[in-house]
Structure 1
Amino acid sequence: MNTENIIVAHASELEKATFYKKTYLHVALAILAFIVVESILIRVVPIEWIAAMVSMKYAWLFILGLFWLGSMFSEKMSFNPSRQQQYFGLGLYVILQAIIFLPMIVIAVAITNSAELITQAAIITLFMFSGLTAVVFFTRTDFSFLRTALIVGGFISLGLIVAGAIFGFNLGLWFSVGMVILASGSILYQTHQIKNQYGTQQYVGAALQLFSSVMLLFWYVLRILMSRRN
């Protein structure tokens, strides 16, 4: 078995196909693991704790801070030369996503007394992700130009989220729409990077990057659907 870390753009067709298969399989497994962990958290975490996560603004800021730090650590681990460390990073990131999503999932279920909104958001996210991925793979567009916009947009959105948490104002529907656009741009950029910049042995790290963008997209699609029911 060839374990040489060849840049995907320079790899053979078979090596490319194997890399893409492993990457998207790991994305699917990460999503499945997220569903399992989220289901467990909903059953074992007291509802009072979940309510406290969002009702106490400094508690939510603390959780966001831990999520940010944990995400950076997970990403670093997912590109570690050790395969064991790579899986540790991906697994940790799945758990972090499940924790940060917990209050929103509980609220979404409470709105309709079912998983209707979650299912709708998941379907929309899947179709958007598939369409954006197809755009990258079936066109020759260079999406590397999105990097600067994504960095600037990320810092602006983070600042607004922190300000909203501190001062208690609702960021509103248009912010969620903007974040859907940002997440879509991130998927385009990350998919382009995977095609052209990643090595054939970096499929775990590639999967984490895509999983991160998919979950960001899912978060704000769900927020938009929830706002329509309020």
Structure 2
Amino acid sequence: MENNEPKVIQLVSDLTDESRVAFYKKTYSHLAGAVLLFILVETLFFQVEAIVNLALSLTGGYSWLLLLGGFMLVTNYAEKMALKSDNLKTHYAGLVLYVIAEAFIFIPLIFIAMVMADGGAFSILNQAAVLTLSLFTGLSAVVFLTKKDFSFLKSALTIGFFIALGLIIAGTLFGFNLGLWFSVGMVVLASGSILYQTSNMIHKYQEHQYVAASLGLFASLMLLFWYILSILSRD
């Protein structure tokens, strides 16, 4: 006889302490793995001149908008793969796809950092990495220590990202520089996203969704890294 009983959904917040800790360990170990994969893929990309030239050729005018639009489509698809599928292999495929997309779109920014640093690019990259990881760790600690649900940030973050996207499109079409304060604002927005994603990891995800949780954290971490690196790479 077929069992038509609905599947019980158990959130991480409802698990035992031991199971929750195991989920957190899996999530952050996958986040660390995603960062290491990003570094590896980025390094490989910079070894292939054709890939670097392609990325740099897409940084001006409508080409940048096309690249940004393509990035958003790919990353949105990757997020759906990791979140909505019940297949663990699909979760991993989504995470890997997201990392590769991030590595490609970072090529122009890292190239600019190399040029602006006049040979000291690794110093700038290291500074940006340290600042990013420090801020990420501090924000994550706030969520874990307060145990506060930051899901109320969703509406503000959505509005903020739409405004930022509109400014990026306008700046590209009309040729004006968004400037330092835009990057500072995006750092604030990325920080809010880290609070939101970390809170989701604790309160919204299910036990088997540690790959999806790590992808959400990775996305926020890389957004923060992008704008901190942008600030440090300015004239």
TM-score class normalised by the smaller sequence = over 0.9
- The separation in 1 between residues aligned to 2:56 and 2:15, in whole angstroms, is 50
Superposed, which structure 2 residues align to 1:66-215 within 5 Å? Answer: 66-79=70-83, 80-112=85-117, 113-114=119-120, 115-215=122-222
Question: What TM-score comes out, normalization by structure 1 length?
Answer: 0.94
2:38 to 26, 34, 39: 34
Contact 1:5 1:201 in 2 (8 A): no
Counterpart residue identity of residue 65, structure 1: G
TM-score normalized with structure 2 length:
0.92
Matched, 1:52 2:57: yes
SS in 2 for 1:169: coil
Give deviations 1:88-134, integer Å, cap 9, x for gaps. Answer: 10000000000110000011012111311111000000000000000
Query: Which residue does 1:14 correspond to in 2?
Result: 18
Contact 2:91 2:211 in 1 (8 A): yes
Match of 2:4 in 1: none
Q: Distance in 2 between matches of 1:81 and 1:102?
A: 33
Greater Rg over alpha carbons, structure = 2
Unaligned runs of 5+ in 1: none
Aligned AA (1:122): A
The whole-number CA distance in structure 2 between the counterparts of 1:62 and 1:11 is 43
The one-letter code of the counterpart of 2:32 is A
**Following TM superposition, where does structure 1 have runs of at least 4 consecutive aligned residues deviating by more than 2 angstroms?**
45-51
Shift of residue 144, structure 1, vs aligned partner: 1.6
One-letter amino acid matched to 2:29? L
- Deviations 1:157-198 (Å, cap 9, x if unpaired)? 011111111212110000000000000000001111110110
The Cα shift of 1:72 comes to: 0.8
Q: How many residue pairs are counted as aligned between the two chains?
A: 224
State the identity %.
50
Give the counterpart letter for 2:42 in structure 1: E
User: Given the alignment, which residue of 15, 23, 30 partners 2:27?
Assistant: 23
Inter-partner Cα distance in structure 2 for 1:147 and 1:51: 33
Aligned partners of 1:42 and 1:106 also within 8 Å: no
- What is the RMSD of the two structures over their aligned residues, measured on CA atoms? 1.2
The 1:5/1:43 distance shift into structure 2, 3 A limit, reads: farther
